[in-house]
Amino acid sequence: MKLEDATFLTEEQKENIRAFAQNFTSENVKAMRKMLESYEEMQIKSVVYTIFIAISFVVAYFYRFDPTFEYNAWNGEWHMFIMVPKWVLSFFVEGITCRPPLYDNGYVVGWWIGLVTMAILYGCYFFYLFLLLYLFPKVKKARVCMNVIDTYELFPPDAPDQPEQSDHQEQSD
């Protein structure tokens, strides 16, 4: 709907919307649209990371070390994926240990490889989580701006840099 067709708005409200729109260029609007799209992608990534961490907590809760088995490098990498959840769970659940009683040197190497991998994964998770929380107020404002711009077609796709000025503003220039 064009702003001029909005019969439910007073002339003062229309002028306020035009003044609001003059603060933007088509490049600003494109940047806001791109920011909103990337914010939605970050939300999806955070959900995927949250599911991964939740699964690792479930696996850590049910997986127990066999005290008679000597664990090797492959076991060390696997155990590192559940080490952080096991460490957290060890505070609340009795009988959960972070390392097996028997392991070889290869286990330690695999454990450190897994530690680096998990540090990267958890780092990405908390980075996305921080960005989502930090950007939330800004994205909320951008969504409001985009709703106004899109509702009143202030910046159609083939629009020039500035929206059309009202007759009142053209006369005063």
pTM, rounded to two decimals: 0.59
C-alpha closest to that of 78 among 65, 91, 95, 94: 65
Distance (Å, whole) CA 170 – CA 154: 17
| Structural contact between residues 146 and 33, judged by C-beta atoms closer than 8 angstroms | yes
Predicted confidence (pLDDT) per residue in 13-48, tens digit: 777 777 777 777 777 777 777 878 887 887 888 888
What sections of the chain are H helices per DSSP? 11-21, 26-62, 73-90, 105-151, 167-172
Q: Is residue 62 part of a domain?
A: yes
Q: How far is CA 83 from the centre of its chain?
A: 25
* 163 within a domain of the structure (yes/no): no
Q: What is the structure's pLDDT at 58?
A: 92
**164 is a domain residue:** no
Number of domains in the chain: 1
Instruction: Write out the two tokens for 155.
Output: 């910046």
Domain contains 95: yes
- Rg, C-alpha atoms of the chain: 28
Residue 47 lies in a domain: yes
Please classify residue 100 by burial: count the beta carbons closer than 10 Å to its beta carbon, then call 0-12 exposed, 13-18 middle and 19+ buried: middle
Instruction: Place 108 in a pLDDT band, splitting at 50, 70 and 90.
Output: confident
Sequence-separated (6 or more) residues with CB below 8 Å from residue 38: none
Does residue 114 fall inside a structural domain? Answer: yes
* pLDDT (0 to 100) of residue 155: 67
For residue 72, give Cα distances in angstroms to 32, 69, 104, 108.
51, 10, 6, 8
User: Does some domain include residue 160?
Assistant: no
Among 39, 32, 40, smallest CA distance to 144 is for: 32
Give domain status of residue 117, yes or no. yes
Q: Reply yes or no on whether the pLDDT at 49 is more than 60.
A: yes
Domain of residue 67: give its range: 3-7+26-155
